[in-house]
Chains A and B, each alone.
Chain A
Amino acid sequence: MRLELRNVFVKDVQWGEKTEISGGVLRINRDETIAAVSNDQRFVEINLDLAKPGESARIIPVKDVIEPRCKVEGPGDVFPGFMGDPCTVGEGATLVLKGCAIVTCGPIVAFQEGLIDMSGPGSRYNPFSETNNVVLTVVPQEDIEKHAYEEALRIAGLRLAWYLADKCRDAEPNVKKVYEKGSIPEENAKYPELPKIAYFCMSIAQGLLHDTFLYGTDIKHVVPTVIHPNEKMDGAMVSGNCVSACDKNTTYHHLNDPVIMELYSRHGKDLNFLGVIPAPEDTRLSGKERSTSFCANLAKMLGADGVVISEEGYGNPDTDLCMNAKKCEDLGIRTVVISDEAAGTDGKSQGLADATPEMTAFVSTGNVNEMVELPAMKKVIGYPEAISNLSGGAEESLKPDGSLFVELQAIIGSTNELGFSRIGARWI
């Protein structure tokens, strides 16, 4: 499978007459763009805002972040099962508006959504302070059922991401990157000496707005399966999660999965990257048993020597993490896990809800409970009062001057467990 990512750099985003990119400036015709994503009777009103790096702006509450992409060559389209048919993607060429992100905003469940600060101390903790953001805020019909609201906003976000990329499909890419990897037997023949590595991308699959989609289907109904890494770059996995903001995998994270990037960059050099196993995290013990047994068995059947296991969320998914690690290690497959910790605001508590002695290689992506002070921003997009309901926030978090005193977990992507950022908890 060969995929060329054609990156068009977005250095600025502005409102304009015509939606197009030139000289690194993405111009957006606001009314046309709103119209393009309005085809949903569940919305009463749709708003678009811009938030740029360095600006004194806060976006709250954030549901998902998506990178604008569209297919320019090859079968299917990005976000298969949503924007394109659910046929295999990852082949051909895909245009990417690099440096731009769609941010969907609006209170849905009202306690597990996060915030983005475009400047100040909070901007250090999330990658979306560095992207030129197009913020989609919707006002749903009254009495809309929450799942319907989530679905409508999820699809509107994907549509907007595709729409903006599609409008720029003729732009000259700044950088082209090729991701190519053959079938497993072909790669094994090429690199017989290299350790064979699989990747379990654990994903929340718990219903009640804690969902992940694979080719448009809710993965809580799917047993773990194997996909080619290129498929993820074309949007095979989409977030439908209203989980604690710090460690949910937004669709942007799935598209730019750092584990895939790292394994790909070392493929054929010091490892042989077998493939990606999306692994649902069920709420029930029987579901955890099933999912982790499938994962370990798939790794074994693929002939894996080692597995990178990333978690999504904390708390009960810690059990899935332990079971995945233990079952692989018991089969002689070495594991490393990537997870955050909930060590309390003082950092003194045990950081995991579950532990197993087989989990001997642990990469920490930070203590989600550490307190951060976020000064007031001049512009607030969304609903600032939502902070009192956010995970990591409290009634008293929003101070009269507009500043916030919150746990790190209120900041979206701050402790992302794909290992997207450089943060980690250490002993002091």
Chain B
Amino acid sequence: MALKVVCYINQFFAGLGGEDMAHTGPCIERKAVGPAMQIDNLLGGDGRVAGTVICGDSYYGEHIEEAREKCIEYIRDMSPDLFFAGPAFNAGRYGVACGDIAAAVAQKLGIPCVTGMYSENPGVELYRSKTFIVKTVDSARGMKQALEKMVELGKKLVSNEPLRPADEEGYFHRGIRKNYFHERNGAQRAVDMLLRKISEEDYRTEYEMPVFKRIKPAEPVKDLSKATVALVTSGGIVPRGNPDRIRVSSAKTYGKYNISGIEDLTPEIFESVHGGYDRVWANEDPDVVLPVDVLREMEREGVFGKLYDYVFTTTGTGTAVANAERFGREIGEQLKKDGVDAVILTST
């Protein structure tokens, strides 16, 4: 029996347009559109794509409940056997939409769902436990390979064929431990691993130690009227021209910029270089992300003592946790050294 397949893609891959069309609400095409056409080809005689659900990334992100509900309605209506979303590569909002709809379809319709993402896509950590997410490269240049892997895994899931471990199947593991038989016994694997460790060769532990990082919140500010307050953002607001060349995504650096004497972040002097959200309004008025204007007012009113003379900025999209931790530690140390009492962190 040929499988009935439904796919989900965003406005861009549907050919509707880029950021300018990201507000597009959900719609359904009763045929294969964009990457879904390639999925249809890859299915060969095993199935066909009966429909493609399309939704703008901004719309999905900003109306997540409504978008999900509408998409589910379209999908349920076609009663598919298998569902694909994306692949989203390293596109954060698209990744979240793909993860969210795949997880919802899996839960509500009980059919196998597969999407695909790059390891640093925030959708991976959010949805890996709820849907199968195939590992892809960070951009659409890996479309062909991504779709092949997705279709292969999807077919396997529908056929109820027993799966190999996640690293062999090529998807992000869902946080579940399952017993398998290795080729060699535990003692043989242990001695091998030890010798590799001693000689500083690559080896792979079979169970990563769980890490519990708990950051103790700072004590509340005792007297706000005397406090120095700082602004720190992962929203990518930088002096016009991006003097420190902070990357638009997967940031490896952050910037520190003097705002003393600046009352308002105007588009003439600041801009957003963030690669993960619609920058139109942030570029019209950078204060919507980094609210210097409002804080100056409050400073004048005496709500707090002083606005710290510098802002720290990075782009929080596709940023590795290890880098983010380092940024936080270094920024925190400087703020502490300069006697800052409180920080407002803005994200996007």
Contact = CB atoms under 8 A, between A and B. Distances in A.
A110 interface: no
B177 A363 contact: no
Contacts of B73: none
B206 A362 contact: yes
Contacts of A261: 187
B179 A271 contact: no
Contacts, number: 164
Interface string B198-212: 110001011111110
B221 interface: no
A366 interface: yes
Interface of B: 163, 165-167, 173-191, 193-195, 197-199, 203, 205-211
A363 to B, nearest CB: 4
A423 B181 contact: yes
A339 to B, nearest CB: 8
Contacts of A370: 178-179
Contacts of B166: 426-428
A335 B194 contact: yes
Given A261-B187, A334-B198, A363 B193 contact: yes
Contact of A424 (B163, B176, B191, B206): B206
Interface stretch (A44-52, A69-77, A341-349): A341-349
A70 B154 CA distance: 58
Interface of A: 124, 195, 197, 258-259, 261-263, 266, 270-271, 305-308, 310, 334-338, 341, 343, 346-348, 350-352, 355-357, 359-367, 370, 408, 416-428
A259 B199 CA distance: 20
A340 to B, nearest CB: 9
Contacts of A423: 179-182, 186
B176 A420 contact: no
Given A363-B189, A419-B188, A427 B181 contact: no
Given A334-B198, A370-B178, A355 B187 contact: no
A425 B165 CA distance: 9
30 contacts: A258-B185, A259-B191, A262-B187, A266-B191, A271-B195, A306-B195, A308-B190, A334-B197, A334-B198, A336-B193, A336-B194, A350-B210, A351-B207, A355-B209, A356-B209, A361-B190, A361-B193, A364-B186, A364-B206, A418-B187, A422-B181, A423-B182, A423-B186, A424-B186, A425-B177, A425-B180, A425-B206, A426-B206, A428-B165, A428-B177
Contacts of B184: 422
Given A306-B195, A310-B190, 4 more contacts: A336-B194, A356-B209, A367-B179, A423-B181
